[in-house]
């Protein structure tokens, strides 16, 4: 399998997307970006997928500090 073009930048992009989850104005685009990363074959490993799931779960369950302040 060929390496996805985003692979060299995935850590920086993943970090930016998860930070984006913390703000009401950027949460939706961050979720869309994370969704694209998760569905890109061969981009994220199991640990990274678990990290994404945990961050989105925190957002959905209201455990994000900044998001709960925005409500």
Tokens of 70: 């925005």
pLDDT of residue 62: 86
pLDDT of residue 69: 45
Q: Which tens digit of pLDDT belongs to each residue from 15-51?
A: 999 999 999 999 999 999 999 999 999 999 999 999 9
Cα angle 47, 54, 52; round to 5:
55
The residue written with tokens 């073009």 in the block is 5
49 and 43 in contact (C-beta within 8 Å)? no
pLDDT at 3 over 70: yes
Furthest-apart CA atoms within the chain: distance in Å = 44
The residue written with tokens 């920086």 in the block is 12
38 and 52 in contact (C-beta within 8 Å)? yes
């Amino acid at each position: 399998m060929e390496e996805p073009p985003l692979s060299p930048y995935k850590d920086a992009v993943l970090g930016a997307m998860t930070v984006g989850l913390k703000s009401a104005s950027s949460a939706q685009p961050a979720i869309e970006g994370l969704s694209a990363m998760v569905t890109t074959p061969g981009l994220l490993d199991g640990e990274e997928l678990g990290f994404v799931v945990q961050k989105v779960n925190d957002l959905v369950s209201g455990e994000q500090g900044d998001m709960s302040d925005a409500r």
